[in-house]
């Protein structure tokens, strides 16, 4: 049921850098036409960084790795698309329809295909108020069980970031700050949550990944701050997140639909500024992912002394 498309399969066989891309942001995360704009930007930025993009989705009873541009557009324009987490894969594959894969499902595909870098906007995490609801994203345990590095801008800002960071520590998942000593907060660059490990370039990140995977089998989070020019003001957005949570509660929205609802509510309240920031950080993370994938490929080829050490 795994279909690795020819360009990706050839790149993997030749030891060239490949970056997996989730597709739930395209099908359930961003409104049209910004969804397709973000997808095209990520694909282009990955290629500009010297890597082959491998967007993942469910289609025709297969977990497809490496959607071609025309299939990306078809996915964005389809009327009926399921949101597929790791728990939904069996049902989605058996149904034979279209599905946008979350980080957890995309990690499953990347692990099966042998891809070691995944780029996304923000991971799922522990939801605010989780002490009552026990609502924790499947992304976290899947990162813990899959030896893939997830390049992201931290967890989505609508989540409980301190508890998410604590959960990652409990699961044994290292979090590397890419050019930062703090966990990014998705829409803004600083959360006030200190990180224990920092890397400032792709070669150093690749060295850490390589050393980690020699002794451990968990994934790694590479946390990249959003571009400074796209950063939003936390003092303005945080009250809007609170408003969104109240609206979700009043509407009875929970589970997998909660995060898309919250993000859409905040996007409307900011006049679309959060969407602009989301596209900017998705694009940047694809470029960082490509750079790290390239450094890993050079290490495997034995041509990068600084990574080999």
Give me the active site residues, please: 22, 156
182, 176, 219, 217: which is closest to 198 by C-alpha? Answer: 176
Q: How far apart are CA 147 and CA 213, in angstroms?
A: 7
Residue 129 zone, left/alpha/beta (φ > 0; ψ -120 to 50; rest): left
Three-state secondary structure along 84-151?
Answer: ECHHHHHHHHHHCCCEEECHHHHHHHHHHHCCCEEECCCECCEECCHHHHCCECCHHHHHHHCCCEEE
Q: Which residue has the tokens 């995360």?
A: 29
Nearest to 85 by CA among 13, 158, 31, 136: 136
Check: CB of residue 105 under 8 Å from CB of residue 59: no
Greatest CA separation for the chain: 57
| Cβ-Cβ contacts under 8 Å for 244 (sequence gap 6 or more) | 158, 261, 262, 265, 266, 269
Give the list of residues 6+ apart from residue 303 with CB closer than 8 angstroms, or none. none
Q: In the numeric block, which tokens belong to residue 249?
A: 């509660």
Question: What does the block give as tokens for 23?
Answer: 């597709």
What are residue 51's phi and psi, to 5 degrees?
-115, 160
């Amino acid at each position: 049921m795994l279909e690795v498309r020819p360009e990706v399969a050839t790149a993997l066989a030749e030891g060239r850098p490949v970056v997996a891309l989730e597709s739930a942001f395209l099908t359930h995360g961003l409104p049209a036409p910004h969804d397709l704009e973000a997808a095209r930007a990520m694909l282009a930025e990955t290629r500009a960084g010297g890597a082959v993009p491998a967007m993942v989705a469910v289609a025709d009873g297969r977990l497809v790795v490496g959607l071609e541009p025309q299939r990306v557009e078809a996915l964005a324009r389809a009327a009926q698309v399921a949101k597929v987490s790791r728990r939904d894969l069996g049902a989605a594959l058996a149904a034979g329809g279209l599905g946008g894969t979350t980080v957890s499902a995309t990690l499953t595909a990347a692990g099966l295909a042998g891809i070691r870098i995944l780029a996304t906007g923000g991971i799922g995490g522990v939801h605010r108020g989780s002490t009552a609801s026990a609502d924790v994203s499947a992304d976290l345990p899947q990162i813990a069980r899959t030896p893939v590095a997830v390049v992201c801008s931290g967890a989505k800002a609508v989540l409980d970031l301190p508890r998410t960071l604590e959960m990652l520590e409990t699961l044994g998942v290292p979090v590397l700050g890419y050019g930062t000593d703090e966990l990014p907060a998705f829409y803004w660059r600083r959360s006030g949550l200190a990180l224990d490990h920092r890397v400032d370039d792709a070669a150093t990140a690749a060295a850490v990944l390589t050393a980690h995977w020699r002794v451990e089998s968990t994934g790694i989070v590479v946390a990249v701050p959003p571009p400074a020019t796209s950063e939003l003001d936390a003092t303005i957005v945080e009250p809007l997140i609170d408003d969104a949570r109240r609206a979700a509660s009043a509407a009875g929205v929970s589970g997998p639909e909660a995060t898309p609802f919250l993000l859409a509510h905040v996007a409307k309240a900011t006049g679309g500024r959060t969407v602009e920031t989301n596209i900017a950080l998705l694009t940047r993370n694809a470029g960082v992912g490509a750079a790290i994938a390239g450094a890993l490929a050079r290490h495997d080829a034995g041509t990068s002394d600084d990574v080999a050490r």
